[in-house]
Amino acid sequence: MPRLTLTAVSKRFDRFQALDSVSLAIPDGAFLALLGPSGCGKTTLLRLIAGLEVPDDGEIRFDDDVVAGETAFVPPERRRIGMVFQSYALWPTMSVRGNIEFGLKVARLTAQERAARIDEVLDVVGLRGLGDRRPHELSGGQRQRVALARSLATRPKLILLDEPLANLDAHLREAMLTEFRRIHSLTGATFVFVTHDQDEAMAVATHVAVMDRGRLEQLGTLEELYRRPASPMVARFIGRGRTLPVKVVKSEGGRTRVMLGQQLLDMPGDAPVGHGWLAFHASDLRRAPEGGQLKTELVGQVFQNGAFLSHCLPTEIDGDVVSLALPERLAPGTPIELAFTGGWVIGDGGTGHGGSGDGVPDVTGRSSACRPAVISLR
């Protein structure tokens, strides 16, 4: 059963459409990373899930319960969620214990229950013994963990994290990510984690959603988004992907035949006949001594991870620079022929998926009209 289901959720601020018919479902215990360019609506989506904003259209359900919809609205304090935002928002004059206790008082736990619960969550986040300190006596990472402890104390089933690592240094980010993963498996709660950082998402997420301009572009595992992007935007956004324009001449059973310039290629994919895109990553290209499928000219190289990351401009088609690792240094202008060892063909507008409001996409990104709503994680 999905823990969290959004059906055609829209939100406008005056005339600005911040969210446009977003539909998604994630299962109990998922760790969803929400990715997308700045301003695409990630925080707005979290605020709607939390109950800090009211949707203009659509419905939000926790399990079978409607928490926001045409006829129902459950206020934030009754949604049983934990929230951690980029700014920790701790009470500066209260101790660590006092900060955590606040929500437990609201939930009307007895003093004894509160004390036991505080000890428990301080243990979970590794802050035992620091309960009497005030926020200014803690490091940034410790403060972050207090915010997390506070959100865990009420034992929420759903935890929303909005760029919680944004102002920590690289070392601390890594330590906190390990911490998040541990807490996720320890508590079994469903996490929704907004981040700008794909490496961060890869480190913790079971599912990834990519948003663009208020719409959900795709929901799936990171591998699915990487190997089978549903739209040109996702293809370019995930893992520094590249796209080249192609003409789809045939598409059948997950295979396509496309024209890349004058070259006829047989590629996996799912796209209607007509204009489309070949999506790929650096690892899908190799240099072909002759008779390659894409003729290019070297424009620059960067030494990276023991090889030369080489940027090559197509010479016979109108396409962007493509990149691949080569073992040697070459002069700019060197002609380089490339062949594809992998890739994925998509239609001009994508393959049809989330955000259209005509069904709730499951974790494969396909509509529930043709797939079960959710694939269980365990």
Ligand X SMILES: Nc1ncnc2c1ncn2[C@@H]1O[C@H](COP(=O)(O)OP(=O)(O)OP(=O)(O)O)[C@@H](O)[C@H]1O
Task: Give the interface segment with ligand X, choosing from 12-20, 23-31, 180-188, 295-303 (CB under 6 A).
Answer: 12-20
By beta-carbon proximity to ligand X, the closer residue of 40 and 189 is 40
Task: Give the interface segment with ligand X, choosing from 40-48, 63-71, 279-287, 351-359 (CB under 6 A).
Answer: 40-48
Of 21, 44, 251, 296, which lies in the binding site for ligand X, with binding defined by CB under 6 A?
Answer: 44
Nearest by Cα to 35 from 181, 226, 274, 319: 226
Residue 5 binding result from ligand X, Mg ion, none, given CB thresholds of 5 to 8 Å by partner type: none
3-state secondary structure of 172: helix
Of 3, 42, 257, 353, which lies in the binding site for ligand X, with binding defined by CB under 6 A?
Answer: 42
By beta-carbon proximity to Mg ion, the closer residue of 37 and 188 is 37
Residue 41 binding result from ligand X, Mg ion, none, given CB thresholds of 5 to 8 Å by partner type: ligand X
Q: Quick one: how far is CA 223 from the chain centroid?
A: 12
Shortest spacing between CB 251 and ligand X, in angstroms: 34
Shortest spacing between CB 219 and ligand X, in angstroms: 16
Tokens of 352: 């049809």
Strands 255-260 and 263-270: antiparallel
Of 16, 136, 318, 329, which lies in the binding site for ligand X, with binding defined by CB under 6 A?
Answer: 16
Binding of residue 87 to ligand X (CB under 6 A): no
By beta-carbon proximity to ligand X, the closer residue of 81 and 271 is 81
Contact predicate 25/373, CB 8 Å: yes
Binding of residue 161 to ligand X (CB under 6 A): no
Of 5, 21, 23, 43, which lies in the binding site for Mg ion, with binding defined by CB under 5 A?
Answer: 43
Nearest by Cα to 132 from 103, 176, 101: 101
Binding of residue 13 to ligand X (CB under 6 A): yes
Residue 285: C-alpha distances to residues 151, 311, 327, 337 (Å): 46, 12, 13, 10
Binding of residue 215 to ligand X (CB under 6 A): no
Shortest spacing between CB 35 and ligand X, in angstroms: 10
Cα-Cα end-to-end distance for the chain? 12
Task: Give the interface segment with ligand X, choosing from 39-47, 63-71, 181-189, 356-364 (CB under 6 A).
Answer: 39-47
Using CB under 5 A, count the residues that bind Mg ion: 1
How far apart CA 8 and CA 179 sit, in angstroms, is 34
How far apart CA 356 and CA 353 sit, in angstroms, is 7
DSSP state of 371: S
How far apart CA 87 and CA 40 sit, in angstroms, is 20
CB proximity list for 79: less than 8 A, separation 6 or greater: 50, 51, 62, 67, 158
Q: Which residues bind ligand X (CB under 6 A)?
A: 13, 16, 18, 36, 38-44
